[in-house]
DNA sequence: TCCTTTCACTACCGATCTGTATCGATAGTT
DNA sequence: AACTATCGATACAGATCGGTAGTGAAAGGA
C-alpha cells in the first residue's frame, strides 16, 4: 500500500510518510482519539511540516479517507479480475470481504467509522465517505445488471447493506466461514430476481 | 422514552434528566464531541451532581448505551407483538426498522457509533454494544427457528448483517421504500432455507 | 419547624487539544 | 561550492478536556 516509489521528491516522500503514519493511527484508534502530537512523535516529522502539507487536521482526515478509498477500489478490482461476469463477480467480492473482516487488526470500514465520529453532515470527511458508498452501490448495480436480473438497483442496495453489515460485524463472523455465509446470502438475494 | 414518573425521588429525577440530556447530546453529536460542560449547560444540572451519579464520563456513556439498549428492546417487543410467528415477526421488524432509519435526526445505531469511537475492545461501552448485538442475534435465531428452517443460526446472522447495514445506511434507503426493500431481502434469505 | 441530604454555582486543577512562530540544520539543484 | 527550499526541533498560544473543592441555597422527611 503506497510503496515508497523512488521517483518522488523529498517533499512528496515526507508527505506520503506523514499520511501513512496518520492513517495507521487513525484507523487503529479512531480519528478523534489521535492527536497531532502523536503523529509527530511516531512519524518523526515536524508538526510544522505536517501542517504545510495538510493545513488542518480535518484535511488530513479527508486525505486519509481518500487514500483508503483508492486502496479499497484497487483491491476490489483485483478481487473481481478473472471472475465470471455477474454472480461470479459477486462471489469473488464476498470471498475478498469475508477474508478481510477477519484479518488481525481489522476494525471496520474506515469510511463508516469516521462518519460515525462526525455528526456534521457537511464535514469534508463525510463527503468522502458518502461518495465511497455511492460508488460501491454504483459498482454493485452494474454487476447485478450483468446477472440479468430485472431490478438491479434494488438488489444492489440490498447487497450493499449486507456487505456494510459484514464490515462492522465486530467479530460476529469469526465463528463462521465468513465468505460462505456472505456468498449464500448474496446468492439467495439474487436468485429469484 | 423514560417519562418522568412521579414516583421518583428528587435524586432519581435529577439523575434521569442528566442521563436523558447526555443521551440526546451523545447520540446527536457523538460521545467524544460532547463535553461534560456542555451537558451541564444544557441540563442545568451541576457538574458535581452529575459526577456523583456517574463517577466518570465513560460510565455515563455506558449508562447511555444501556438505556438505549433497554429502549430498543422495548420497541422491538412492541413491533413484533401481534405478528404471526416466524416470517411474520421478521416482516414486522423490517417495517419498524425501515421506518426508524428514515426518521428525522436518525444517525445510525448508537451501539455501533460508540463502538466506532472507542478502539479499546475492553471499553465498558463496547461490552454493552457487543451484548446488544449478541442479544439481537439470539432473538433473530429464535425467530428463524420458528420459521422452521434447518439452519436458523446462519440465517439469523445473515439477517443481522443486513439490518446492521440498514442502521448505518446513511440515507441510502431514503430514495426507496425501505421496509419493502428489507422485507424482500429477508424473505429471499429465509425462503430456500 | 428543624435537620439532614442533595442540590446549583463558581472557581479551579493539570493535561491535552489544534495550530503557530522561530531558528538552525539539511537536502537537492545549479 | 554556493544558493534555495524544505526540513526537524523547540517553544508557545488559546481553548477545551475530564474531574475536584468549597460554599450557600433549597428540598424532603421527621
- What is the set of domains in chain A, with CATH numbers? 1-55 (1.10.10.60), 65-191 (1.10.357.10)
Task: Name the nucleotide nearest B44; use CA and C1'.
Answer: C8
- Model confidence pLDDT, tens digit, residues A70-100: 999 999 999 999 999 999 999 999 999 999 9
- Of B32, B173, B192, Cβ closest to residue A188: B192
| Predicted local confidence at residue B47, as pLDDT | 97
Angle between helices B110-117 and B10-29 (to 10 degrees): 70
CA of A6 to nearest chain B CA: how many angstroms apart? 34
How does DSSP assign A102-122, residue by residue?
TSTT--S-HHHHHHHH---TT
Least Cα separation, residue B188 to chain A (angstroms): 6
CA/C1' separation B60–C9 (Å):
22
- Is the Cα dihedral A33, B26, A110, A2 positive or negative? negative
What's the pLDDT at B2? Answer: 47
SS3 at position B66:
helix
Distance CA B180, CA B157 (A): 20
Which residue, among A125, A168, A190, would best test binding to B if mutated, counting the most B CBs under 10 Å from its CB? A168
- Per the CB < 8 Å rule, is B133 touching A176? no
Where do runs of H (alpha helix) occur along chain A?
10-29, 36-43, 47-53, 57-80, 87-100, 110-117, 124-146, 152-167, 178-191
Residue with cell 518522488: A8
User: Whose CA is closest to B140, among B161, B166, B113, B114?
Assistant: B161
Instruction: Give the pLDDT of residue A12.
Output: 86
CB of A136 within 8 A of CB of A109?
no
Whether A3 shows a pLDDT value over 60: the answer reads no
What is the Cα–Cα distance from A74 to A57, expressed in whole angstroms?
A: 26
Count of C-beta atoms within a 10 Å radius of residue B1 = 10
| CA distance linking residue B71 with residue B145, whole number of Å | 25
Residue A183's pLDDT is: 98
Residue range A163-168: average pLDDT? 97
A185–chain B nearest CA distance, Å: 6
Distances (CA, A) of A185 to A69, A123, B27, B136: 25, 34, 31, 18
Q: Which pLDDT score is estimated for A40?
A: 97
* Distance from chain centroid for Cα B158: 18
pLDDT under 50: residue ranges of chain B: 1-4
Q: What pLDDT, on a 0 to 100 scale, did the predictor assign at position A6?
A: 58
CB contact under 8 A, A157 and B181: yes
Measure Cα distances from A161 to A190, B150, B162, B164 in Å.
14, 24, 5, 8
**Does A4 have pLDDT greater than 60?**
no
Mutation for testing the A interface, residue in B33, B94, B116 having most A CBs under 10 Å: B116
User: What is the model's pLDDT at position B4?
Assistant: 46
What is the model's pLDDT at position B12?
A: 84
Among A163, A172, A192, select the one facing B157 at the smallest CB separation. A172
At A5 the pLDDT is 53
CA atoms within 13 A on the CB side of A98: 19
Give the whole-angstrom CA distance, residue B29 versus residue A118. 7
Residue whose grid cell is 420458528? B146
Do the Cβ atoms of B167 and B97 come closer than 8 Å?
Answer: yes
Contact A109, A164 (CB under 8 A): yes
pLDDT at B11: 79
Using the beta-carbon criterion (under 8 Å), do B189 and A192 form an inter-chain contact? Answer: no
All residues of chain B having their beta carbon less than 8 Å from the beta carbon of residue A102 are none
B76-106 b/e (C-beta count within 10 Å ≥ 16 → b): beebbeebeebbebbbbbbbbbbebbeeeee
Query: Per CB distance under 8 Å, which residues of A are interface residues toward B?
Result: 28-30, 32-33, 107-108, 112-113, 115-119, 129-130, 133, 137, 154, 157-158, 160-166, 168-173, 176, 181, 184-185, 188-189, 191-192
DSSP 8-state symbol, B49: H
How confident is residue A44, by pLDDT bands cut at 50, 70 and 90? very high
CA of A22 to C1' of D12 (A): 24
Percentage of the residues of chain A whose pLDDT score is greater than 90: 91
Classified as helix, coil or strand, A28 is helix
Q: Which residues contact A143 (CB under 8 A, 6 or more apart)?
A: A80, A85, A86, A89, A90, A156
Instruction: Quote the pLDDT of residue B6.
Output: 56
Amino acid at each position: 500500500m503506497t510503496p515508497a516509489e523512488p521517483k518522488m521528491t523529498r517533499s512528496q516522500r515526507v508527505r506520503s510518510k506523514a499520511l501513512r503514519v496518520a492513517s495507521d493511527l487513525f484507523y487503529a484508534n479512531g480519528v478523534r482519539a489521535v492527536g497531532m502530537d502523536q503523529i509527530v512523535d511516531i512519524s518523526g516529522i515536524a508538526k510544522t511540516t505536517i501542517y504545510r502539507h495538510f493545513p488542518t487536521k480535518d484535511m488530513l482526515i479527508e486525505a486519509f479517507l481518500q487514500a483508503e478509498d483508492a486502496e479499497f477500489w484497487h483491491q476490489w478490482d483485483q478481487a473481481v479480475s478473472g471472475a465470471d461476469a455477474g454472480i461470479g463477480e459477486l462471489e469473488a467480492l464476498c470471498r475478498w470481504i469475508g477474508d478481510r473482516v477477519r484479518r488481525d487488526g481489522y476494525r471496520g470500514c474506515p469510511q463508516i467509522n469516521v462518519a460515525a465520529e462526525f455528526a456534521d453532515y457537511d464535514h469534508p470527511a463525510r463527503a468522502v465517505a458518502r461518495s465511497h458508498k455511492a460508488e460501491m452501490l454504483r459498482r454493485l448495480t452494474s454487476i447485478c445488471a450483468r446477472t440479468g436480473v430485472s431490478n438491479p438497483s434494488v438488489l444492489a442496495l440490498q447487497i450493499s447493506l449486507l456487505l456494510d453489515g459484514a464490515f462492522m460485524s465486530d467479530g460476529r463472523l469469526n465463528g463462521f466461514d465468513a465468505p460462505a455465509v456472505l456468498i449464500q446470502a448474496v446468492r439467495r438475494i439474487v436468485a429469484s430476481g
